[in-house]
């Protein structure tokens, strides 16, 4: 029996490997976004602690040195939070780029799979046509061969 061989199988395999690599890249980008979000959350919590400390320093006996230190710490935290938000946005842009690349590679793979499926269907039709032809020839041969003996 004939065996189906897809002539662009190597391209299909290459697109599958590219898709696997892009999935890995997407996972790495997602992990980077998660890490940046965690860092931002930690900075926001630290700033909240400084805000609470400042409120406590104002309530009791006022120590201007500690109060000034706390204000400076809050200012520093604001800068760090802003920088972290920028880092998070950058990681999110990278994630979006990775998602788009993954989508493109997945579309390529699906296209090649569809082409392979169509080629396989065509192969099955040709095989069925060959079998029908062989059957017709066998029937025709048997009919003509058997018909000649009766006359």
- Domain holding 49, by residue range, is 11-139
Predicted pLDDT at 145: 65
* Residues 6+ positions from 33 with CB-CB distance below 8 Å: 88, 91, 92, 95
Task: Give the per-residue pLDDT at 62.
Answer: 80
150 falls within a domain: no
Spatial separation of the C-alpha atoms in residues 75 and 47, rounded to whole Å: 9
Q: Is there a domain that residue 147 lies in?
A: no
Write down the pLDDT at residue 148.
47
User: What is the pLDDT at residue 150?
Assistant: 47
State how far Cα 37 lies from the chain centre: 20
CATH number of 112's domain: 1.10.287
Q: Is 70 exposed, middle or buried (0-12, 13-18, 19+ CB in 10 A)?
A: buried
Residue 6 lies in a domain: no
Residue 144 counted as domain residue:
no
Could you read off the pLDDT of 66-89 as tens digits, one per residue?
Answer: 889 999 999 999 999 999 999 999
Can you list the residues of the chain whose pLDDT is less than 70?
A: 1, 145-151
Residue 63 inside a domain? The answer is yes
Number of domains in the chain: 1
């Amino acid at each position: 029996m004939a065996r189906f061989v897809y002539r662009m199988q190597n391209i299909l395999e290459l697109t599958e490997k590219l898709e696997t690599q892009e999935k890995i890249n997407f996972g790495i980008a997602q992990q980077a976004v998660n890490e940046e979000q965690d860092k931002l959350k930690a900075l926001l919590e630290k700033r909240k602690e400084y805000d609470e400390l400042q409120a406590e320093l104002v309530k009791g006996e006022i120590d201007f040195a500690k109060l000034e230190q706390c204000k400076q710490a809050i200012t520093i935290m604001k800068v760090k939070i802003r920088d972290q938000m920028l880092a998070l946005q950058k990681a999110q842009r990278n994630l979006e780029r990775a998602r788009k690349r993954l989508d493109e590679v997945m579309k390529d793979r699906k296209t090649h799979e569809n082409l392979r499926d169509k080629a396989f269907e065509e192969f099955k039709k040709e095989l069925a046509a060959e079998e029908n032809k062989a059957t017709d020839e066998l029937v025709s041969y048997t009919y003509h061969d058997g018909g000649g003996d009766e006359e």
